Amino acid sequence: MQSPNPNIYHGDYLDLDYRTPSLPLFDSPGGSLAGPSQARDGIQRLPLLQSKDWDSDFEDDETNPTCIHYDIEWKLQLKKGRLSKLAEITEEDLTLAPSAYWDRFLSAELAKMVASKVPSPEHEPVETIVVVSVDKRSERNLRKQFPGLSIKWKAIEDKIQAWSPFFCEGHKLRLDICFVYKAINQVTQLASAGGRQSRRGATGRQFAARDRLLAEQEDTSGSRPVWNDVYEVFHCTGVPCVNAGFYCWRDPVSKKHFKLDTSLLNKLVDYAEEGGLLRNHDHVPETIRERIFRQDQENLERKQLKRKRTDSLPPINISVSCPGSHDEAQRDLPIGAHTTSSGASVGFRRRAADIVIPMPIDRAGIAYCEWLCGRVESDYWEAGFRQAHRITMEACFDLKYIYQVQDVAFFTEKGVALGIALSYIGDIPVWADTLKS
């Protein structure tokens, strides 16, 4: 065996080169792309391609990639009380960096989607939410929120670049982007066709705002919005159901009508907006049906419990006395009865246990107040009814309890006019009867 040359251990031969060796380059349709690098810690890292390094015809090797790949799922949402999803698009296996992809493709796609889905110029971008994630349990998502469309992409791309080793190990990188738009000016009133008087009261203003939004969305997109179609499907005509004017789901098996509150209607709208078929009552998915049944059972149990509590109370006797027997009438007055200046007592003869209000307690108070306001034209009277309603809500009183106790002084001592207080208490059974018709 030939012995090594001893001269190689002297002079410059012992000066080792510790510099990082240059990486080989390869040819591609997009020019020269740097291949994967090997860090000093031995972890493989891949580059995130910018516009200057990217070509639309470039196809990477799936088994041995030379750059980072990721997916984007972006949504367009309209903020009108609650968030309503208007569009959801998924872009898979992207190699162009997010900032460059936004400049070259996504911003134009968003503008096109906004033009077809969101009424303008009454709506504007309010915020953009970006979430960066990797399907590795030990890593937490990066969530960023930006005003309007002013997205700072550097932090997003730095996180993707930091997760390059996970991509090399076979993990998926993902960007979820949510573009949120809202109305610039809230529409509060709209005159009806033919020059008729505009709708009065809060409920009328809500219907007017809804009509305006419907018209704008139809003019912009050329089609009716999903939520309006859903509401029409479940609008109850009242035959044979008692929920006329509200929304019901008719069980195709039992034919029973189940009243739908706002939370259930929102679930149905979300289901339809996500592509679910919802043209009639038979199309309601099983998950929402189970929720309807469960809510109906809970409402029934609450009514039974309330009925037991009400039946356990002693009956209220209402009497009207003449001025000549004032002292005797005072002894027989029911709780909350009002005595006029002439000495006559005023009360109500309907039993509270006979009043049936088929809706949640808090919503019943709101609906009753709107009904009262809809029966008057005087702003003073309307303000009085709303004051009485506010006092009732602040004390967390049920309408049936208000009628049962009939404490007129409870309202008048807080500044409510006597006539308003008497009407607010006495008209409760009248309003409850309208719910049956």
Give a three-class secondary structure readout of 41-103: CCCEECCCECHHHCCCCCCCCCCCCCCCCEEEEEEEEEEECEEEEEEEEEEEEECECHHHHHH
**Chunked mean pLDDT (size 10), the chain, 437 residues:** 45 48 43 48 77 82 86 88 79 91 92 80 85 90 93 94 90 93 56 41 52 51 62 74 74 86 85 80 91 89 76 57 48 46 48 76 88 86 90 88 86 90 90 79
- What pairing do the DSSP bridges indicate for beta strands 248-250 and 173-183? unpaired
Please give the pLDDT value at position 189.
32
CA–CA gap between residue 236 and residue 258 (Å, rounded): 10
- What pairing do the DSSP bridges indicate for beta strands 173-183 and 70-80? parallel
Residue from 46, 97, 47 nearest 72 by CA: 97
CB neighbours (10 Å) of residue 237?
10
What's the Cα-to-Cα distance from 75 to each of 33, 117, 179, 192, rounded to whole Å? 32, 12, 6, 35
- Coil, helix or strand for 382? helix
Burial class of residue 191, CB neighbours in 10 A (0-12, 13-18, 19+): exposed
Please give the pLDDT value at position 142.
92
Yes or no: say if 38 and 14 are a contact pair by the CB < 8 Å rule: no
209 membership: H or E segment, kind and range: helix 201-221
The reply to whether omega before 240 is within 30° of 0 (cis) is yes
Please give the pLDDT value at position 225.
61
Structure tokens at 23: 């990486």
What's the Cα-to-Cα distance from 428 to each of 326, 333, 371, 398, rounded to whole Å? 28, 21, 10, 11
Please give the pLDDT value at position 109.
93
What are phi and psi for residue 56, nearest 5 degrees? -65, -25
The residue extents of the domains of the chain are: 70-183, 225-294, 348-434
Residue from 27, 21, 19 nearest 66 by CA: 27
- Coil, helix or strand for 108? helix
